[in-house]
């Protein structure tokens, strides 16, 4: 039975422990995050949708503050311990929030602080988990296994809202936060297992520094590498366009949910139901389609398809700005991002040096992404004030989505070129 399943999913026997451990690592990480996500969304609406751009800006600023700390950790500790140190810091943060919510659950500023913190945490923690996989798996392995491992994230995205719904009454917000800290601890242990697996089955990549050594460099190396490399700059542009598209839809979601479901309990339930639908569909696409698409058509196909669909979705919202259409577009966008765009985006980093896999990648995934959020939030708010017509923002969103698709196509071609150059270099290097 194992052999048939492995053949269907194109997993070699020696890779099975890594696939299971990687999927479990993402499962625990996403379960902990998605237990708290619907609470965060409700907290954001509670402060007024007219103020969401301020929360996005605060998140961007908080990300800029957090990155030098991460850069210091990445420069000083052994490469294989970067995740453990960073997650350890987050676990302490979660325990502090658990104590804060236990003593003062209704404080508005505590809610805003948690909104910003969770928005920084989710990108940083998820980016770092992907950095470990990008670091450990070679390009051919990544094409076959990334989507299957990412299916653990989709399972966690399903389990998180369910557990949050069932446990929020008996445990309260403080209990959910404490449970999330426990799940993050388990995710940390599984990342270490992955490093041990790679030690046992090392890839043939001569000239690479060992994972027992620190990356070195300065705390701002991630940012400087992005601006010095045309390839990394284009990845950053791709992420900015992704973030702007996402933010336009996020603001429209907040507006339509508030208009359609004035009760806060209903709002949280709606967000939870959308999460469940998204993760269920994502899981099916990840397991059955993503790896096959990447292997047969290349990474570019993963990066272009969703932006084109989003351009059409924005046009539909411009014509029919109602919640049913918005929910369909949001679900399609998130399924496409999780199942296609995210694995494809991570594969782009398999052809860069180890330091860029952690520092530059993390800078793009956090500061650049949240910067795109902030810019998109202020643009959307400005359009709403000036035009007072959501259709105008949706038409602009369609144009941004088309630019996003063009950037994705370019990156797919560049990744293929860099992969070929890397293979030639590796074959030319004496063993």
Token pair in block for residue 320: 């029919």
| Domain residue spans of the chain | 2-428
Beta bridge mates, 214: 78
Measured in residues, the chain has a length of 431
Element (H, E) at 374: helix 369-387
Report the predicted TM-score, pTM, of the whole model to 2 decimal places. 0.70
Q: What superfamily does domain 2-428 belong to in CATH?
A: MFS general substrate transporter like domains (1.20.1250.20)
Kindly give the confidence (pLDDT) of every residue in the chain, 431 residues in length, as a single tens digit, with 9 standing for 90 and above. Answer: 445 555 555 677 777 888 899 999 999 999 999 888 866 766 665 555 566 667 777 877 887 888 788 878 877 888 888 899 999 999 999 999 888 877 776 667 777 788 888 888 888 898 889 888 888 887 778 777 877 888 888 889 888 888 887 887 788 878 888 999 999 999 999 999 999 888 887 765 544 545 555 565 555 677 788 888 889 999 999 999 988 888 888 777 777 777 777 776 676 667 767 777 887 788 778 777 777 787 788 888 889 999 999 999 989 988 888 888 888 888 888 888 888 888 888 888 888 887 788 788 888 888 888 778 777 777 777 766 665 666 777 888 899 999 999 999 999 999 888 888 877 765 555 44
d(Cα 257, Cα 192) in Å, to the nearest integer?
41
Would you list the DSSP string of 163-187? HHHHHHHHHHHHHHHHHHHHHHHHH
pLDDT at position 431 is: 45
pLDDT at position 409 is: 93
Is 198:205 a contact under the CB 8 Å cutoff? no
* CA 316 vs CA 175, 204, 325, 326, 394: distances in Å: 41, 49, 8, 9, 9
Question: b/e for 315-346, b at 16 or more Cβ within 10 A?
Answer: bebbeebebeebbebbbbbbbbbbbbbbbbbb
d(Cα 358, Cα 79) in Å, to the nearest integer?
9
pLDDT at position 385 is: 66
How many Å separate Cα 252 from the centre of its chain?
21
């Amino acid at each position: 039975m194992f052999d048939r399943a492995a053949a269907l999913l194109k997993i070699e026997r020696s890779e099975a422990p890594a696939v299971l451990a990687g999927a479990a690592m993402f499962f625990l990480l996403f379960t902990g995050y998605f237990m708290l996500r619907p609470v965060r969304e409700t907290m954001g609406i509670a402060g007024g949708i007219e103020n969401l751009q301020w929360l996005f800006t605060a998140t961007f600023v908080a990300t800029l503050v957090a990155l030098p700390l991460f850069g210091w950790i990445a420069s000083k500790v052994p490469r294989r311990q970067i995740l453990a140190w960073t997650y350890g810091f987050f676990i302490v943060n979660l325990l502090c929030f658990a104590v804060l919510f236990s003593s003062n659950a209704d404080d508005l500023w505590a809610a805003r602080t948690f909104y910003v913190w969770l928005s920084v945490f989710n990108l940083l923690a998820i980016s770092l988990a992907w950095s470990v996989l990008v670091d450990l798996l070679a390009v051919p392995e990544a094409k076959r296994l990334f989507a299957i491992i990412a299916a653990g994230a989709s399972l966690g995205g399903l389990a998180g809202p369910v557990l949050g719904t069932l446990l929020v009454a008996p445990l309260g917000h403080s209990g959910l936060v404490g449970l999330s800290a426990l799940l993050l601890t388990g995710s940390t242990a599984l990342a270490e297992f992955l490093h041990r697996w790679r030690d046992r089955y090392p890839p043939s990549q001569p000239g690479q520094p060992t994972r027992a050594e620190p990356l070195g460099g300065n705390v701002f190396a991630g940012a400087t590498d992005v601006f010095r490399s045309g390839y990394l700059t284009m990845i950053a542009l791709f992420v900015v366009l992704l973030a702007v598209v996402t933010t336009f839809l996020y603001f429209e979601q907040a507006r339509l949910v508030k208009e359609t479901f004035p009760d806060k309990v209903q709002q949280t339930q709606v967000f939870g139901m959308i999460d469940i639908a998204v993760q269920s569909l994502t899981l099916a696409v990840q397991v059955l389609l993503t790896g096959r698409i990447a292997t047969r058509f290349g990474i570019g196909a993963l990066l272009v398809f969703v932006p084109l669909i989003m351009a059409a979705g924005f046009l539909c919202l411009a014509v029919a700005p109602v919640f049913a259409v918005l929910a369909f577009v949001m679900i399609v966008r998130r399924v496409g991002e999780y199942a296609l765009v995210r694995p494809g985006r991570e594969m782009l980093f398999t052809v860069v040096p180890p330091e860029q896999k952690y520092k530059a990648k993390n800078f793009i995934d956090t500061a650049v992404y949240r910067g795109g959020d902030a810019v998109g939030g202020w643009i959307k708010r400005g359009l709403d004030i000036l035009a007072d017509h959501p259709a105008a923002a949706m038409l602009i969103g369609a144009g941004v989505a088309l630019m996003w698709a063009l950037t994705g196509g370019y990156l797919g071609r560049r990744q293929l070129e860099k992969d070929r150059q890397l293979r030639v270099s590796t074959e030319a290097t004496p063993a």
